[in-house]
């Protein structure tokens, strides 16, 4: 995520350097219209395909289509639910303040919203990705506990050259994670929640593999930041994810991952538990050389 420029402040060292005022009154009628268009389209796309906890979160936080959310109002409900709060930042922020905020139960959300021309894709996360994608599940205690643990692990990772591995954990859970739900597989990752194209692809395209989440496999699996996933990892529950991450000491895991080759998201390994083998069709047409594997 570090490549983008735009609104990002990637040299900040402290939280104070990152926090801004949301200035809700400054959103234009076009901004509210863009939010409404994205919200209504995504709600239809996600129906029946994402975990119920997500929709419960939308209701708990009273997130609606009509207007861009006002963080002050949203935070009253979010604090009451799990003690988390959303803090306004210009966009992507440097790893240290980012992880520190998560460890403090603060989610840094960008305040800018994409233009109507960027409806289907923009490189950096805007308020629709951050708030519609990430925030509803922060009202769920199990998921919120995982996010806080992720922040704590991030701070430790910075002192043990583990951020690259932890960014993969972020990618395959917080951004593009899938979860079992009474015999079916549903989405919970923010990158699926907030993207029309990715949500359609995950739910309708037979191309991607669905693999059982396994911590070391994910820490070793690279990803492409600007294309659809070749494989998605599925957890049994948020509690199971939290437990697996809490029980496994990360520092020795980084050491053992460092000594082994990066795994491709296209290949299925012998130790993978395959929940659905994809056709890989999508990737046959697009040479992957245009991307850099992270």
CA-wise closest residue to 294 among 200, 165, 186:
165
CA distance linking residue 281 with residue 105, whole number of Å = 40
Stretch that binds Fe ion, among 50-58, 86-94, 124-132, 143-151 (CB under 5 A): 124-132
Binding site for ligand HBI (CB under 6 A): 1, 89, 92-93, 95, 98, 108, 125, 163, 166-167, 170
Residue 173 vs 278, nearer CB to Fe ion? 173
The sign one gets for the Cα dihedral 134, 137, 143, 149 is positive
Here the tokens at position 108 are 């840094």
The one of ligand HBI, Fe ion, none whose footprint includes residue 192, by CB under 5 to 8 A per kind, is none
**Which CB sits closer to ligand HBI, 75 or 207?**
75
Residue with smaller CB distance to ligand HBI, 95 or 139 = 95
Which of the choices ligand HBI, Fe ion, none does residue 101 contact, using the CB cut-off of 5 to 8 A by kind? none
Stretch that binds Fe ion, among 44-52, 71-79, 120-128, 278-286 (CB under 5 A): 120-128
CB 135 to ligand HBI: min, Å = 12
Q: How far is CA 202 from CA 17, 50, 196, 222, 233, in A?
A: 37, 11, 10, 18, 12
For every residue of 256-269, DSSP letters joined together read HHHTSPPBPSSPPP
CB of 87 to ligand HBI, least distance (A): 9
**Beta pairing partners, 274:** 211
250 binds, among Fe ion, ligand HBI, none (CB under 5 to 8 A by kind): none
- Nearest approach, Cβ of 89 to ligand HBI (angstroms)? 5
Which residue, 15 or 207, is less far from ligand HBI as judged by CB? 15
Compare residues 193 and 209 and give the one whose CB is closer to ligand HBI.
Answer: 193
State the binding string over 159-198 for Fe ion (x if CB under 5 A, else -): -------------------------------x--------
Question: Are β-strands 184-187 and 178-181 bridged in parallel, bridged antiparallel, or unpaired?
Answer: antiparallel
DSSP symbols for 210-221:
EEE--HHHHHHB
Answer with the entry of ligand HBI, Fe ion, none that 15 interacts with (C-beta below 5 to 8 A by kind): none
Choose among Fe ion, ligand HBI, none what residue 1 binds, the Cβ cut-off being 5 to 8 Å by kind: ligand HBI
- What are the strands, taking DSSP E only, across the chain? 85-89, 106-110, 178-181, 184-187, 209-212, 231-235, 274-276
Identify which of 34, 223, 18 has the alpha carbon closest to the alpha carbon of residue 115: 34
Q: Are 196 and 42 in contact (CB under 8 A)?
A: yes
Give the one entry of ligand HBI, Fe ion, none that residue 167 binds, where binding means its C-beta sits below a cut-off of 5 to 8 angstroms depending on kind: ligand HBI
């Amino acid at each position: 995520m570090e490549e983008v420029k735009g609104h990002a402040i990637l040299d900040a060292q402290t939280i104070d350097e990152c926090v801004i005022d949301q200035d809700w009154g400054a959103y234009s009628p076009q901004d509210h219209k863009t939010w409404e268009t994205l919200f209504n389209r995504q709600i239809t796309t996600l129906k029946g395909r994402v975990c119920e906890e997500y929709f419960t979160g939308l209701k708990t936080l009273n997130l609606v289509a009509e207007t861009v959310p006002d963080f002050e109002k949203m935070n009253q409900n979010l604090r009451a639910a799990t003690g988390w709060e959303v803090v306004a930042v210009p966009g992507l922020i440097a790893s240290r303040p980012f992880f520190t905020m998560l460890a403090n139960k603060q989610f840094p959300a960008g305040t800018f919203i994409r233009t109507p021309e960027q409806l289907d894709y923009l490189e950096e996360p805007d308020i629709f990705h951050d708030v519609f994608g990430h925030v509803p599940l922060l009202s769920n205690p199990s998921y919120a506990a995982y996010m806080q643990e992720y922040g704590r692990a991030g701070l430790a990772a910075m002192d043990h050259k583990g951020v690259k591995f932890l960014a993969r954990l972020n990618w395959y859970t917080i951004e593009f994670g899938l979860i079992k739900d009474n015999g079916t597989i549903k989405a919970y990752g923010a990158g699926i929640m907030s993207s029309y194209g990715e949500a359609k692809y995950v739910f309708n395209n037979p191309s991607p593999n669905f693999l059982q989440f396994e911590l070391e496999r994910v820490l070793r699996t690279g990803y492409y930041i600007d294309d659809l996933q070749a494989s998605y990892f599925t957890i049994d529950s948020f509690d199971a994810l939290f437990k697996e991450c809490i029980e496994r000491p990360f520092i020795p895991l980084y050491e053992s991952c460092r000594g082994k080759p990066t795994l491709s998201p296209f290949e299925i390994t012998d130790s993978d538990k395959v929940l659905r083998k994809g056709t890989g069709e999508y990737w046959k047409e697009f040479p992957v050389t245009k991307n850099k594997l992270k």
